[in-house]
């Protein structure tokens, strides 16, 4: 990392995976990429990286396209093809965020699970770890490289293979609620949840595969609102914002 400003407090984590969904790259209700939104994420993640934590960002692509929009039966595009289109969308976000971070003086590498020589390095976990050790922020695009899953599964997968201490899932709501907070004003925000609670109550946090993988290997997940200024930095510091999903018993704020 080349930008200055020393770390101010000892961060709790050594290495983490930060999942940023496509909605971070655009204004609410819009589609495509808004460069001011990208610059804002870059500022927030850049400040977090200055704490001295190794950061791997898994990019979402829903601001451009989600494969599940093209359900089976739509004759024009096979659903699997649409999933590949969704994975390519994450590369566009990655290119945008890479430039925004480098403009701020950070060293980055964009790695892709679908080969695209000329714009990004192929994802190789050993190489990814080496970049992290050298203080580079790595941007992981194209999800898992396989269709029919989401970038949440990719984030879980990468968190495990990169030996991350935590998976931080940045969303536009404050954490995990008992119901959809945008529809039900009485929805309760959980501060902690056990993996099993998420699965049993069918809470819409991440896809089933992602939660199951994290549960299987005991990877903690923190879900938090990145639209609130400074929250990425707080989450990276290990502050108790949003909802922590681990082996603990459920509680409420």
Chain contacts with ligand UDP (rule: CB under 6 A): 21-22, 60-62, 66-68, 83, 86-87, 89, 143-144, 146-147, 149-154
CB nearer to ligand UDP: pick between 152 and 233: 152
**Smallest separation (angstroms) from ligand UDP to the CB of 144:** 3
Q: Tokens 């549960």 identify what position?
A: 215
Token couple for 68:
């599940």
d(CA 205, CA 191): 13
CB nearer to ligand UDP: pick between 119 and 252: 119
Q: By the 8 A CB rule, do 7 and 159 touch?
A: no
**Smallest separation (angstroms) from ligand UDP to the CB of 35:** 17
CB nearer to ligand UDP: pick between 1 and 203: 203
User: What is the H or E stretch that residue 195 is in?
Assistant: helix 195-200
Q: By the 8 A CB rule, do 211 and 219 touch?
A: no
User: What is the H or E stretch that residue 158 is in?
Assistant: helix 151-161
CB nearer to ligand UDP: pick between 1 and 17: 17
**Smallest separation (angstroms) from ligand UDP to the CB of 147:** 4
Kindly tell me the sign of the dihedral angle through the C-alpha atoms of 80, 27, 47, 175: negative
**Smallest separation (angstroms) from ligand UDP to the CB of 90:** 6
CB nearer to ligand UDP: pick between 147 and 181: 147
**Smallest separation (angstroms) from ligand UDP to the CB of 247:** 25
CB nearer to ligand UDP: pick between 123 and 190: 123
Query: Would you give the end-to-end CA distance of the chain in angstroms?
Result: 36
How many Å is the maximal CA-CA distance in the chain? 56
d(CA 186, CA 170): 23
d(CA 97, CA 5): 21
**Smallest separation (angstroms) from ligand UDP to the CB of 82:** 6
CB nearer to ligand UDP: pick between 143 and 242: 143
**Smallest separation (angstroms) from ligand UDP to the CB of 218:** 22
DSSP secondary structure letters along 52-94: T-EEEEEE--TTT--GGGS-TT-SSS-HHHHHHHHHHHHHHHH
């Amino acid at each position: 990392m080349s930008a200055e400003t020393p770390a101010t407090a000892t961060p709790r984590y050594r290495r983490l995976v930060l999942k940023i969904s496509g909605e971070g790259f655009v204004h609410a209700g819009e589609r495509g990429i808004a460069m001011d939104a990208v610059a804002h994420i870059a500022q927030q993640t850049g400040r977090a990286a200055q704490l001295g934590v190794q950061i791997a960002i898994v990019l979402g692509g829903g601001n451009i396209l989600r494969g599940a929009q093209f359900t089976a039966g739509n004759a024009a595009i096979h659903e699997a093809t649409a999933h590949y289109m969704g994975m390519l969308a994450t590369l566009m976000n990655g290119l945008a965020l890479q430039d925004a971070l480098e403009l701020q003086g950070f060293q980055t590498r964009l790695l892709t699970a679908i080969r695209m020589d000329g714009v990004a390095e192929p994802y190789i976990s050993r190489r990814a770890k080496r970049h992290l050790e050298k203080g580079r922020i790595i941007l992981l695009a194209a999800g898992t490289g396989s269709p029919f899953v989401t970038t949440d599964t990719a984030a879980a997968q990468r968190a495990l293979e990169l030996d991350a201490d935590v998976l931080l899932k940045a969303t536009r709501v404050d954490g995990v609620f008992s119901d959809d907070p945008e529809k039900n004003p009485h929805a309760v925000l959980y501060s902690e949840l056990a993996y099993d609670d998420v699965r049993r109550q069918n809470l819409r946090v991440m896809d089933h595969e992602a939660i199951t993988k994290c549960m299987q290997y005991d990877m903690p997940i923190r879900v938090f609102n990145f639209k609130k200024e400074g929250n990425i930095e707080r989450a990276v510091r290990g502050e108790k914002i949003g909802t922590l999903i681990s082996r603990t018993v459920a509680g409420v704020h």
